[in-house]
Chain A
Amino acid sequence: MTFSIIPVFTIVLLVGLCVYTWITRDKDDNAGDYNNMDRSATWLYLAGTYTATLVSAVGMVGLPGQSYTTGYMYGLANWGSTIGLMLSALFFGPQIRKFGKTTVAEFFQFRFDSKAFRLIVAIITVLGTGAYFVSQTIGAAVILETIVGIPFNTTVIIVVVIVAYLALVGGAKTVTVTDTILFCVIAVALGVVFAPTVIGVAGGLPAMKILAGTTPEFLKLGGLANAPFGTMVGFIMLWALGIGAAPVNLSRAFLAKSNREWLKGMMVAFCVTVFMIWSVHSAAAYGRLINPDLTSGSQVMPWLALNAVPKAIGLAGVLGLVAACVSTADTQLLVIAQSSALDIWGHIKPDLDAKVAQKRTRIMVAIFAVVGAILSLGNSTFVVAFGNFGSSVFAAAFFPILTTALFNKRVTKAAAMVSMIVGIACDFVLHVIPMTMGMAWGTVSYLPYGIHPVIWSTAAAYIALFVVTALTKPTKQEIAAFDHAMAVQEPIDPNLSDSHMIKIAVGLLVFGAIFFAFVLYLSTCCVA
């Protein structure tokens, strides 16, 4: 059923782009705005851009699909990224802001007094985020193809044109504003309107008793796949470490007006994300009660939007899904372009002029949009798998360095470099080995207890880092750079007093208590 939403959807899209063009009309001439929003983002924008970037096609379509096909809790267990969010909020974000840079690679250059380091980090960032951008584009195109019935290759072009337009015209400031609007659309349309309606249509929370009676494995952690406990812990860690260390997510901290704005925004982002995850995954799992016969998990959310709910609510679901894809892809494209323009191109041909840097970033947005479209057109399963590999690379390459070098001056350039190389090499080899055994790239079942490669490679990177740190001494420049950054004491934001911030933190705890009460009720429904 192709649904009569095509004209409505097209109108909403066109109106959105017109509004966007109007918002961006006078933002062209400020390079600071374009690259890091002149460090002026307040909590709402930070919550908006972080959540909208985190909640992606993978998160709102792929993982809920696993809650439909394999198991309710199995899908939810893939969301370790809330742990990464928390680590960024409390520790990485405030600390990396002290170094006063625009990109994560720039921080590495400053911390280790090495231009080469910046170049390597930038290349890893571009490759890892680039692959993830392509898998995101493919995900968005598949959703549009399912919903509006246009051929896949046409929807790829539509998605890339929209995303490139957002990043090209706007830059960091307008991408952030757009992300915040899309974040509201995602949270309300998907989390508040669409998902609860699906659950209601399926018979409400108590209906889970039916599944608990017929297929009890569906509610076990390993799901119908009977995945070992080690694999499930590995999934959680993959996203916890990967999202905590991913430059596209961590770089949101550079936009913040103050540390307190950042923390407040992230506390809000955390509550909204947890609510969204449970809401959408529940809808997908309840989808099994409505139609258990879909062949692919990624079809479940679009299918439910088109067939299971009233058309207006289905439209809300469709808009939410498309918003989730676009809002992740635009930030990714901008970060890829910034890394390649400021860090890689800037390395080859340095030019301090902000206008030139802005122009270069725009050129790179256009180039990567074309490259992304070409790679997406094939809809290669390898590209999608490689996109997910990007997250594990960030975990293995950057997480050990961030947790140590951000806080301790003893960590040397040599130690960081060796740790990065060991982490990436180990991760890559463990992903490739299954292919030599006739299994798919990234299969984890051959490893002891089925523990994901990311855990082995991150552990290896930590060991390498500690050993080389013990064997080497930091240079005077490295110590000076660290001490200089640590001497920066950001004044307490006068707009966000202690009592106000504590109220927000207490609000987070109350939200957590309400959430857990809901889970306790749900757990009574999940027994036969």
Chain B
Amino acid sequence: MNTTVIGMGLLYLAQFLFFGIVAIYMIKNHKI
């Protein structure tokens, strides 16, 4: 496995997780 490619993938995966989880939190708590 190429660690640089995985690192770049993790950078984007972290964004997906942050975006999705914060969005769910905001929707559930009617912040948006």
Which residues of A sit under 8 angstroms from B18, Cβ to Cβ?
A: 86
A156-196 CB mask vs B (1 if < 8 Å, else 0) is 00000000000000000000000000000000000000000
A274 within 8 A of partner (CB): yes
Known A-B contacts: A513-B16, A516-B13, A519-B8. Give 6 more (CB < 8 A). Answer: A212-B2, A498-B27, A506-B20, A508-B19, A512-B17, A512-B20
**Interface residue? A125 (CB, 8 A):** no
Indicate whether A526 sits within 8 Å of B23 (C-beta atoms), given known contacts A492-B30, A512-B13.
no
Chain B contacts with A in 1-28, Cβ cutoff 8 A: 1-13, 15-24, 26-28
Would A219 and B12 be within 8 Å (CB), given that A259-B32, A505-B23 are in contact?
no
The CA-CA distance from A511 to B19 in the complex, in Å, is 12
Q: Are A86 and B24 in contact (CB under 8 A)?
A: no
Q: With A501-B27, A524-B1 given, is the CB distance from A221 to B19 under 8 Å?
A: no
Q: Size range of the interface on B?
A: 20 to 34
Task: Tell me the chain A residues, 84-105 only, with Cβ under 8 Å from chain B.
Answer: 86, 89-90, 94
Contact residue among A82, A511, A526 (Cβ-Cβ distance under 8 Å from B5): A526
A527 within 8 A of B: yes
Closest to B19 in A: A86
Query: Using a CB-CB cutoff of 8 Å, which residues 239-271 of chain A contact chain B?
Result: 259-260, 263, 267, 270
Partner-A contacts on B (CB < 8 A):
1-13, 15-24, 26-28, 30, 32
Q: Which 10 A-B pairs have the closest CB atoms?
A: A512-B16, A519-B9, A526-B2, A509-B20, A523-B5, A505-B23, A501-B27, A523-B2, A523-B1, A516-B13
Select one of A86, A498, A502 contacting B15, CB under 8 A. Answer: A86
Contact of A83 with B by CB under 8 A? yes
Cα separation A72 to B15 with both chains bound (whole Å) = 20
A90-B19, A498-B27, A509-B17 known; A77 and B1 CB under 8 Å?
A: no
Nearest neighbor of A83 in chain B, beta-carbon distance: B15
Pairwise interchain contact A221-B7, C-beta atoms closer than 8 A: yes
Q: Is the pair B16, A221 in contact by a Cβ cutoff of 8 Å?
A: no
